[in-house]
Structure 1
Amino acid sequence: MASIMARIILHEKLKIADIGGLACSFFGLLFIFKQMLTTQGGFHKAGEPSDMNVNKNNHIYAVLVGLFSSIAGGINCCLIKAAAKASDQPVITVLSFGILASPAAGICTLAFEEFVLPAFYSLFLVLLLGALSFFAEVFLARGLQLEKTSKVSNIQYIEVALSQLWGIGISSIAPSFGQLVGCLLIIISICSTIYSGPDKEIE
C-alpha cells in the first residue's frame, strides 16, 4: 500500500522487479498468516450452534479496519519520505512527527481508556521499546530519503521473517511448512532487493 500511495502521490515509478519483490514478500506473509489462522483457529463440531453472522460481521469489520490502516500507513510513508527529502537530517523528521503524534495518542488514550500508573517493569519496557522504535523510525526516514518507497517497503518485511524465526528458535514447537516457506520467500525477496542495489533515477 505504501508503494501504491507513493505511485499516486509522489509519482514514483514501479519497475517490474519492484512489483515482483513486493509480491514475493506479500505471498510469504500470506503463507505465514494462513498457518497462524490454521494453528489458532478452531472448527465447530457437528450439532453445535455457531455464530456465523457474528463472525461474518467481525471479519468484515476487521477487513475494513485493516484496509483503512494500510491506506493510512501508506500515506504516512509518503509524508515521511517528503519530509525527509525536504530536510537534511532524518532525526528532525522523526521528531516532528513525534511532536504531532504523541499528544494525539495521549488524548485518544485518555478518552477511550482509564489511566493506570504502570509498574516499574512495564515502564522500563515502554522506555526501552520507545527508544528502539525511535531508532527504527530514524532508519526508516533515512531509507526513504535515499531509496524508492517500494524498495524500503520490501525491506520492512524482514520484521515478519525475523519475528517468525525468533519464535521458532525460542519455542519447543516444531516449525510448520507454511512458516518456513513464508520466511524463505521473504528472505529471497529481500536479498534480491539488496542485490539489485540503488536506482540511478534522477529525481
Structure 2
Amino acid sequence: MASSSSAETRFSDDDHLALELTVRDPDSPASDKAASAPAIASDEIIPLLIQNQRPRFNIFSSSHTRRKPREQVFKVTETEISPVTQFSSWVWSGSRYSGLLCMALSSTLYLIMELLSNTFSVQPIPLFETAFLRCTIISILSYLWLKRIGQPIFGPAHARKFLVSRALVGSLSLFSFIFSIQMLPLSQAIVLSFVNPVMASIAARVFLHEKLKITDIGGLACSFFGVLFIFGPTLTVQVGSEGKNENLKGNHHIYAVLLGLFSSITGGISYCLIKAAAKASEQPLITVFSFGLVACPAAAICMFTLESFVLPAFETLISMIVLGLLAFCAEVLLARGLQLEKISKATNVLYIEVVLSQLWILGTGKAASPGLFSRLVGCLLILISVSYTIYMGPAKDTE
C-alpha cells in the first residue's frame, strides 16, 4: 500500500475515551521534513499544524455516561407527578371503567354540594339568583379551560347543532325543575328528578339507537324502586298534609307534578344530546360551555323579572362561589361519563347519590325510626343495581 494509517486510542485522566486518527505516508520523504521546511512544491500538501499542535477530537465529549441522564430524567418525572394527578388521569381516561367512575364522582360532588348548602346556608337566596351565579362560574371556567388547551370555544362546525340543542334543552330542563321545586314538597321533587335516568335511557334508545337490554331495564327499575322505598313514607305524609298548603290545592299540584315530569323528560333528552355533542366534538367541556352560554342570560332574565334580587353577604357569596366551582367539576365529569359510557349504565350510577345521602343521614342520627326499615331496603336495592352495573362493566357492551 502507498499509505498506511494508524489509530491511537488514548484514555485521558478524567476517564474520557479519546480517539485520534493520524494518516502517514511512509514512502514520501517530505513527511519527515514537513515541520522544518518553510515551503515545498505546490502539488504537495503542507500541514498547517505540527504534530503536537493538532487538535484532538473526542467523540465521547459528554462528561457523564449515557445511563445517568436517563435515570435522572426518570426520577424527576416521577417526583413531579403527584398522586392526585395520577388518580385524575386514571379516572379521566386511564381505565375501561372511566365512564362509570366519572359518573360516580359527579354524583358524589352533587351530594357534597347539597351537604354544604344545608350546613353553611347563612342567608336565603332565590333559586334563579343561585342558578345565575353558578351558570356564570361554569361559563367563565369553561371558557378559560378551552382557551388554555387551544380548543375552539364554539366547537367544530359539524357538532354545533348538537351543542345548540343541548344548551336549549338543558336550560329548559333546569328552569322547569326550579319552577317545580318551588311548588312541590322537596321529597316529591327529588323523586321526579330521579325519573331522569329512565327517560334518558328511553331517549337514547329512540334517538341514539342504543340497545336497551333486559339487564339495563332491570337495573334502572331496581334503582328507581329503591328511591320509592326511601322517600315513600315522606311522600305519604306530605300528600296527606297538602291540603294545608295553598300552593298545592286543586290543579296547582297537578301542574307542578307535570312540570316536574317535563323537567325529567327534557333532562333525559339533554343527556343524549350531551353524549352526541361530546362525541362529535371530541371534547366534553364544550358541552358545558354551550350550556352556560345559554343558561346564564336566561337565568338573569328570570332573576330580575320573576324574583326580587337579594344582595348576598360576604360569607354567603363565598359559599355560593365554592358551590359554583363544585358544580363546574360535576358537570364536566358528567359530560365525560356520558361521552364514554352507554347512557343506561351511566345514568344508573347517578342513583348512588341517594345512597350516600341516606348513609350520611343515618350516620348523623337524623333518620326517623318509623321509616328506617324502608330506607335500608331502598339503599340495598340501589346498591345491588349499581354494583351489578359496575360488575358487568363496559366491556360487555362492545360488539
TM range (shorter): 0.7 to 0.9
Which residues in structure 2 correspond to 1:43-192 (within 5 Å)?
55-174=249-368, 176-192=372-388
Equivalent residue for 2:214?
Answer: 16
Structure 1 Cα separation of the partners of residues 393 and 357 of structure 2:
25
In structure 1, give the amino acid aligned to 2:256.
Answer: A
Matched, 1:3 2:197: no
Measured after TM superposition, the shift of residue 38 of structure 1 is 4.1
Structure 2 Cα separation of the partners of residues 189 and 116 of structure 1:
43
Give the RMSD, CA atoms, in angstroms: 2.3
Secondary structure of the 1:100 match is helix
Q: 2:389 aligns with which of 170, 193, 199?
A: 193
Structure 1 Cα separation of the partners of residues 241 and 310 of structure 2:
37
Contact 1:2-1:73 at 8 Å conserved across structures: yes
Structure 1 Cα separation of the partners of residues 232 and 270 of structure 2:
27
Query: Greater share of strand residues, 1 or 2?
Result: 2
Contact 2:361-2:367 at 8 Å conserved across structures: no
Task: State the identity as a percent.
Answer: 64
Measured after TM superposition, the shift of residue 35 of structure 1 is 2.2
Instruction: Provide runs of 4+ in structure 1 moved above 6 Å.
Output: none
Aligned residues: 197
Contact 2:274-2:338 at 8 Å conserved across structures: yes
Contact 1:84-1:90 at 8 Å conserved across structures: yes
Unaligned runs of 5+ in 1: none
Query: Greater share of helix residues, 1 or 2?
Result: 1
Measured after TM superposition, the shift of residue 121 of structure 1 is 1.8
Structure 2 Cα separation of the partners of residues 50 and 79 of structure 1:
41
Structure 2 Cα separation of the partners of residues 50 and 144 of structure 1:
42
So what's the TM-score if we normalise by structure 2? 0.46
Measured after TM superposition, the shift of residue 119 of structure 1 is 1.1
Q: Which has the larger radius of gyration?
A: 2
**Taking CA–CA contacts closer than 8 Å with sequence separation of 6 or more, which of the two structures ends up with the larger relative contact order?**
1
Structure 1 Cα separation of the partners of residues 397 and 265 of structure 2:
28
So what's the TM-score if we normalise by structure 1? 0.87
Equivalent residue for 1:25?
Answer: 223
Unaligned runs of 5+ in 2: 1-198
In structure 2, give the amino acid aligned to 1:201.
Answer: T
Measured after TM superposition, the shift of residue 158 of structure 1 is 0.8
Matched, 1:36 2:234: yes
Measured after TM superposition, the shift of residue 131 of structure 1 is 1.0
Measured after TM superposition, the shift of residue 105 of structure 1 is 1.5
Structure 2 Cα separation of the partners of residues 168 and 55 of structure 1:
33
Structure 2 Cα separation of the partners of residues 110 and 101 of structure 1:
14
Measured after TM superposition, the shift of residue 180 of structure 1 is 0.8
Secondary structure of the 2:299 match is helix
Contact 2:230-2:375 at 8 Å conserved across structures: yes
